[in-house]
Amino acid sequence: MLDSLILSLFVFAACLVALLAYDKISFDFLSRGKDLQLSPQKIVVICGVAVAVCAGLAWLVIRDGGPNLLQYFYIVLFSLGFYFTLILLLPRSRLIILSELLAVCLMVWLILVTGSTFLQNIILAGCLLWVGPLVLKKLKIKTRYVLAFLILFMIIDVYDIYFAQPAASVFSDAHFVLNGLIQSGNWVLGIGDFLVAYIAVNVIQKDISIKAAILAALMIAFFRFFFHVAFPNYAEALPYSLVITPTALVIYGWWVVGKHSQKNSSPNQYLTN
């Protein structure tokens, strides 16, 4: 029970940081021109290429490199993501950028020496904080496509957990450090769950209000904990996407109904005031 609560608190804290990061992170240094505005076709192509590249690299590592190379791949991938987040969040002077690099290297060294779960959770949760601002502020991807992505992710996640046959694996990475799993005791969430949660709260923050985004963060973080209290035998099998996506859709539905209501007290009044 305590491990579940600690993980929920960590999720909530990470979502709050994602809300702060959305306001703080800017990609102005990438271009002096206008913000990118991509068509749905280009978005699909870019996502397809990115998935293909990542899947190809992972396949090559597993086929030719074995567990040691895969461990190095995890360390480099997630450490660079966390370092990129720090560069975007903090002032970009040479001294600060170098200090950030040294701090990330020190954290990785401590993880390798001590196996600290807390430091691993910090790096894994922090390495994707820049994705929401990139998708929503720089690429200007429309909300309907973001919501469609959340729904698609939920469908794939539910199918993978409840219906797909587990694939045979050459070796297990469960005992690797920085293996994409954020843990508190026996309770575990994948890094993909955090990515989807960040995007959900960021899009609500962009379109509705910061109060609505904080409410979404609370619901996303603590629903599974209270579900565990009520149904202790089933909570671990609940896909986290079944919490994230419905939360975003409910809040958006509430907002749309309130927006079009002609009454003086709209359903979403306390979210937007």
Domain ranges of the chain: 2-272
- How confident is the model at residue 251, as a pLDDT? 93
Write the pLDDT tens digit of every residue in 164-210.
666 555 555 567 778 888 988 888 888 989 999 999 999 999 999 99
- How confident is the model at residue 73, as a pLDDT? 79
Q: In terms of pTM, does the model score above 0.85?
A: no
- How confident is the model at residue 15, as a pLDDT? 95
- How confident is the model at residue 225, as a pLDDT? 85
* 144: exposed, middle or buried (Cβ count in 10 Å: 0-12, 13-18, 19+): exposed
- How confident is the model at residue 268, as a pLDDT? 54
- How confident is the model at residue 38, as a pLDDT? 54
- Round to whole Å and give the CA distance between 126 and 81: 8
User: Residue ranges of the chain with pLDDT lower than 70?
Assistant: 28-67, 164-174, 234-237, 262-273
- How confident is the model at residue 133, as a pLDDT? 92
- How confident is the model at residue 46, as a pLDDT? 64
- How confident is the model at residue 234, as a pLDDT? 66
- Round to whole Å and give the CA distance between 65 and 58: 10
- Round to whole Å and give the CA distance between 14 and 223: 15
